[in-house]
Every structure is written in C-alpha cells, then in structure tokens.
Amino acid sequence: MDVVTFRRASTGDLHALVSLERQVFPSPWGADTFDATLEDPRCISALAVEDGGLAGYCLALDLSSTVHILNLAVHPAWRRRGIARRLVREVVAQAVESGKTCAVLEVRTSNTHARSLYASMGFTHVSTWRRYYTDTDEDAVIMVKDLRSRLPRDVWCEVVQNMEVARSTFHLILEGDLPQALPGQFAMIRVSSTSEPFLRRPLAVLGQKQYKTEFLFKVRGPGTDILARKRPGGRIKVLGPLGNGFGRTPALHVIYLAGGTGIPPVLSLAETMGRGIFILGARDAGDLPLLDRIHSIPGTRTVLMTEDGSCGVKGLATDALAEVLSGIDEPADAMIYACGPGAMLKAAARMAADKGVGCEVSLEERMSCGFGACAGCVTKTRNGSMRVCREGPVFPARELVWD
C-alpha cells in the first residue's frame, strides 16, 4: 500500500483542494474561498498526500485562544483508513503548540458519520444553530473540544499510596498538579533521582481526581522494582499527559478488553463511559488486580477469564470476546476498546475485522523519550511507520500491520 504523508498547505495546493472539494461536497467551496483562507495568516492546515496526489485536507483558523475547524475532506478512495482522524489531530496539535485552549467546529445534523468521528476525538455537542446551512436550511451541530488537557507538564508529585494489589502489581497514587489526561493517555515516570536507570518508565493513567493521579504497574525490571519500593511521602517527577487517548463512541454495544498490564487505559475509559461489557483476562487469580473496582463500574457487566480457571471462566479473554461478538446482529452498533498482550490485540483486531466491528487498541511499547523525538517506539501501520508515543498509543486496529 502507498504511504500517506502529512504536511501543511500552501497556495500552490489551490487547484488540488478545489478539485477534491468538488468531489466530496454537494455545495463546495469556491477557489476564491480557498485562496482567501490559505492567504490568511491565521490559517492552520494539514494535507494528506499520497504519491503526489491529495488524499485529504483539514483547514482551520486561529481565533485568539480558539481554533475554528472550517473544513475536512477525504478522497473517496482513501476513506475508512484513519485519514480524517489523523488530519484533525494534525490541526489540533498545531493549535496546542501555539497555546490554543479550545477547538470548535460546526457539522450538519444529517452527517452522522462526521459527528461520530468528532465525538470519538473528544468533541462535545454544545448547541445547535437553526437553519445554518443556506443551501438546504439544515441545522448545524456546534461541537467543542477542550485542548488544555492535552498540554503536558513535567511536575513533582508526592506518593500518596503504593500498594501491591496483585502478584507483583502495584497501585500507585500520586498527588500533584498534573494536567487532566484522557483515557488512554500516559505519563513518563522518573523512578530515580540518579542516572540509574537513566530512562523514565511509561505508565498509562488509571484515573485522576482532585490533584491525585493513579497508575497501575507490574514489576518487570530494575526500574519498576525501584518504583515499587517508593513509600508515601516520597517525591517522583512525572511528565504528562502524553500521546493520544481512546475515542468516545455512541455505539450501542461497547466492549472493553484488557489483559496483563493493559487494565489502566481500558478501566479509565470504562469508568468514564459507564456502560458496556468489561472482559478481563489473566493467567490465574493472582494476576487479577482491582476486581472490586472493576465490578463496581456503573452500567457495565464484567466477564473474568483465567487460563487455569482459578477465577471466573477458564479460557482466554478473546474466547469471551468471540462469544460476545456472536450475539451482536448489527456490527455498526458495536465498538471494541482493547489493551494488553500483542497476541490478544492481534486476535481481537482479526475478530473485529471479520465481524465488521470497530476496534481501537492501545499498544504497550518500550519508550525512551515519550514525545516522539527519538523514534524508538515505531510501529508499522498501513500508512507507514508511526511512533507509539506520539501518534498513539491508541490506534484504530484496522490501521495496524500485525506481524
């Protein structure tokens, strides 16, 4: 498959933009509108280019503390490949880098696909403008996204709790002014004040409330062993939140799938959404942390799977997923959110594709910097190699190339 690259737009792209616009919209922008927008110094743009051709674009305007997303289009041949989501992310990233705190857009009420995409990226419906679109007298849905949660900070935090809650698995609670994370985002934890170990450890955010941030980690080496020995009152340097989190789906059937150390991002999302089925898999009962908390998620049914049958049902988490998917008649009404071992994610992605169900996965990868500078956590996707820490850790499963 050809590789898509992303860059900013210029006036030299005018003809291609107008051509794509006419293919996509019944009431397209004219060349004069595009020209005026590109010439405006407030313009923020992102183009998706494939072999010299335009696969998609997103245009926005910098308005004081707000970025106004004006237009988003993807070539019909490149739809359903995550291009639209990536274009919006590129524009939002530019807005965040320039200090914007809010993104706003309007979308036709009939455009349910676009509304679902924006909602999955954290945009919230705040109002409706009656008869906004003059060509059809259709209403416009106004959606807003708070960008402040995406601005990472490097802060000192105090250890409030560090308790072993399963075999070699610790529930860490820190208190500090760490910005609010979205479910699926992570932080880079400095485990030692010395140069050993030199690199920080990436941990998914389990939860945040009243200046307290929760993490769940398993001791796997010297770094996490040092972290496990931290006691209340100690101080830890934390950089976050980082990466891209899960989307929020309006789907009727929401399935959360977690295994191994993949509980934190999935549990965080489940607690936020408050509905669905939570499937948790482990080798045995000793590897199942925070069960009371998982069972208490409002509106959510829990399915426990252990390989030895010591807790819940004997089998793999994907066995339970297959059973749940078999009972879904309308694939468009279902969505899977998963994190855990690679084999589990690969199997879940295959099942989702076979059933036609949407699926987002959070990848667990070794990281050096956490914000994309070193490219040490690259993964293969259908649109080329991407950094797990920067473009992920959450990806649509269909975009990933599974080994």
pLDDT tens digits, one per residue of 254-310: 999 999 889 999 999 999 889 999 999 999 999 999 999 999 999 999 999 999 999
Buried b (16+ CB within 10 A) or exposed e, 155-190: bebebbebeeebeebbbbbbebebbebbbbbbbbbb
Class of domain 253-399: alpha beta
Closest CA to 259 of 288, 282, 276: 282
* Dist CA 242 CA 393 (whole Å): 9
* Dist CA 118 CA 111 (whole Å): 11
Residue extent(s) of CATH 3.40.630.30 domains in the chain: 4-149
- What's domain 151-242's architecture? Beta Barrel (2.40)
pLDDT score recorded for residue 32: 95
Cα dihedral sign, 338-343-344-346: positive
- What's domain 4-149's architecture? 3-Layer(aba) Sandwich (3.40)
pLDDT score recorded for residue 218: 96
Distances (CA, A) of 260 to 156, 238, 339: 28, 23, 9
The predicted-structure confidence for 26-68, as pLDDT tens digits, reads as follows 889 999 999 999 999 999 999 999 887 899 999 999 998 899 9
* Dist CA 352 CA 82 (whole Å): 16
pLDDT category, 313, cuts 50, 70, 90?
Answer: very high
Helix (H, G, I), strand (E, B) or coil at 177: coil
User: Global pTM?
Assistant: 0.68
| Amino acid sitting at position 38 | L
The predicted-structure confidence for 88-123, as pLDDT tens digits, reads as follows 988 988 887 787 889 999 999 999 989 988 988 888
Residue extent(s) of CATH 2.40.30.10 domains in the chain: 151-242
Tokens of 370: 């956490």
Tokens of 182: 């979205």
Residue extent(s) of CATH 3.40.50.80 domains in the chain: 253-399
Closest CA to 298 of 271, 280, 265: 271
